[in-house]
């Protein structure tokens, strides 16, 4: 559905992207991650035909973004990080204006406006001036305009910025529902959000794609040792010393919550039965014992840090 091949982008002599390659298949929800200045926004602007690449090829639904710009735009609903809204318009008037720009037939306009406003839960503010709306409602209006004309591809840049916790849950649920029938690229700084919504992750750093895979596969590749989370009721010093002497245990660190420990063991060696037996034999009360994988934040930081360390050594 989306294919990017050997795509560089220079601003003058400054490279923003360096030979970027990736693809997004139909029906995928893909998270697009990277630190500030990594090239995320530049890549998204090229895909949405806001700017051309310096060279290389970007295709959407088989259409070249440079040669078939208008056709590509018709297949994409785009929510930029800073939503360009006309603050002196009412919600409905703005969406009607956006619908006209997207060539929605006048005969279908009332039905289309009703559809996107209902999906985004903004029907109640249809006649209110956008400038008088909360930031959360403005964000919803931005998502609604991206859904106009029912595009098969959505590119969402920070879609939950400014929303309260209830609205964030609703928008995440909406994105998952939309992903059943559409291809979605989601750019977000909220890493737990990406892990909850996205099937696959693209990580970009310094203009290059440094990883692309599922969170589970990236964890398996990057996690050199196993980590066990243990909660036990017992004397802290004694528990720590005893666990550290067990064969296969590499490190024992008390965690933030009292009575909890993070235990590092060799990869491929599950010591949970031994840990549980040790706790019980010493008369301590075992409350919780589980393997703990790397979080998406851990993966992100490790990849970005490794990339920067490699450059320093060259």
Domain end point (choices 172, 198, 219): 219
124/137 same-domain check: yes
Q: Is residue 2 over pLDDT 90?
A: yes
pLDDT tens sequence across 78-126: 998 888 899 999 999 999 999 999 999 999 999 999 999 998 889 999 9
Place of tokens 């039965």: 273
What CA–CA distance (Å, rounded) separates 283 from 101? 72
146: in domain:
yes
Alpha-carbon distance of 147 to 143, in angstroms, equals 7
pLDDT attached to residue 169? 85
In this predicted structure, the answer to whether residue 131 has a pLDDT above a threshold of 50 is yes
Residue length of the chain: 314
Domains in the chain: how many in total?
2
Radius of gyration of the chain (CA): 24
How many angstroms separate the CA atoms of 58 and 73, rounded? 13
Query: Is the domain of 121 the same as that of 265?
Result: no
What pLDDT, on the 0 to 100 scale, is given for residue 252?
Answer: 92
Under a CB-based contact definition with an 8 Å cutoff, are residues 242 and 256 in contact? Answer: no
pTM of the model: 0.76
Work out the average pLDDT over 162-166. Answer: 80
CB 130 within 8 A of CB 85: yes
Residue 141 near residue 99, CB atoms below 8 Å: no
* Residue 313: pLDDT over 50: no
User: Are 162 and 258 found together in one domain?
Assistant: no
In a domain, 304, yes or no: no
DSSP assignment, residue 54? Answer: S
CATH number of the CATH domain containing 239: 3.30.70.100
Residue 58 lies in a domain: yes
Q: What domain range includes position 96? A: 2-219
Q: What's the pLDDT band for 312 if we cut at 50, 70, 90?
A: very low
Same domain, 118 and 267: no
Do residues 194 and 237 both lie within one domain?
no
Q: How confident is the model at residue 189 (pLDDT cuts 50, 70, 90)?
A: confident
Q: What is the CATH number of the domain that holds 193?
A: 3.40.50.300
- Decide if 99 contacts 108 (C-beta within 8 A): no
Which of 195, 219, 243 lies at the terminal end of a domain, its last residue? 219
Q: For residues 56 and 160, state if they share a domain.
A: yes
Q: Is the pLDDT of residue 307 over 60?
A: no
Q: Do 85 and 129 reside in the same domain of the chain?
A: yes
E strand map for the chain: 2-11, 14-24, 29-33, 57-60, 63-64, 76-79, 153-157, 183-187, 200-205, 208-213, 225-233, 249-254, 260-266, 285-291
Does 138 share its domain with 213? yes
Whether residues 192 and 60 fall in one domain: yes
CA distance 195 to 313: 32
Domain shared by 91 and 239, yes or no: no
Is the CB of residue 266 less than 8 Å from the CB of residue 248? yes
pLDDT at 286 over 60: yes
235 within some domain = yes
Question: Is 39 contained in some domain?
Answer: yes
Q: Are residues 195 and 257 in the same domain?
A: no
205 in a structural domain? yes
DSSP assignment string, 181-237: TSEEEEE-S-HHHHHHH-SEEEEEETTEEEEEE-HHHHHHHH--EEEEEEEEES-HH
- Residue 17 inside a domain? The answer is yes
Contact, 47 vs 58, CB < 8 A?
Answer: yes
CB atoms within 10 A of CB 140: 27
Give the C-alpha separation, 193 to 312, whole Å.
32
Max intra-chain CA distance, the chain: 77
Domain boundary among 219, 243, 266: 219
Residue 184: C-alpha distances to residues 11, 55, 70, 298, 311 (Å): 27, 25, 19, 24, 32
Domain membership flag for residue 66:
yes
Q: Both 121 and 234 in a single domain?
A: no
């Amino acid at each position: 559905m989306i294919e990017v091949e050997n795509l560089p982008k220079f601003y003058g002599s400054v490279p923003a992207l360096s030979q970027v390659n990736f693809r997004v298949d139909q029906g995928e929800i893909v998270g697009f991650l990277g630190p500030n200045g990594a090239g995320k926004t530049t890549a998204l602007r090229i895909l949405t035909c806001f700017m051309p690449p310096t060279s290389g090829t970007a295709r959407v639904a088989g259409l070249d973004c440079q040669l078939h710009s208008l056709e590509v735009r018709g297949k994409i609903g785009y929510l930029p990080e800073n939503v360009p809204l006309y603050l002196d318009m009412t919600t409905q008037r703005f969406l009607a204006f956006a619908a006209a720009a997207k060539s929605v037939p006048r005969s279908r306009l009332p039905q289309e406006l009703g559809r996107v406003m209902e999906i985004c839960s903004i029907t109640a503010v249809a006649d209110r001036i956008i400038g008088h709306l909360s930031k959360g409602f403005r964000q919803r209006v931005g998502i609604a305009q991206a859904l106009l004309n029912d595009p098969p591809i959505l590119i969402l840049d920070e879609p939950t910025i400014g929303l309260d916790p209830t609205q964030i849950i609703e928008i995440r649920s909406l994105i998952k529902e939309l992903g059943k029938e559409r291809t979605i690229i989601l750019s977000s700084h909220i890493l737990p959000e990406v892990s909850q919504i996205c099937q696959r992750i693209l990580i970009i750093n310094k203009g290059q794609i440094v990883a692309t895979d599922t969170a589970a596969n990236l964890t398996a590749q990057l996690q050199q040792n196993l980590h066990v989370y243990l909660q036990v009721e017992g004397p802290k010093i004694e528990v720590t010393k005893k666990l550290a002497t067990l064969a296969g245990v590499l490190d024992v660190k008390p965690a933030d919550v009292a009575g909890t420990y993070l235990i590092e063991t060799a990869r491929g060696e599950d010591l949970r039965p031994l840990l549980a037996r040790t706790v019980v034999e010493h008369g301590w009360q075992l409350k919780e014992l589980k393997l703990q994988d790397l979080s998406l934040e851990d993966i992100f930081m490790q990849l970005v840090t490794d990339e920067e360390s490699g450059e320093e050594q060259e």
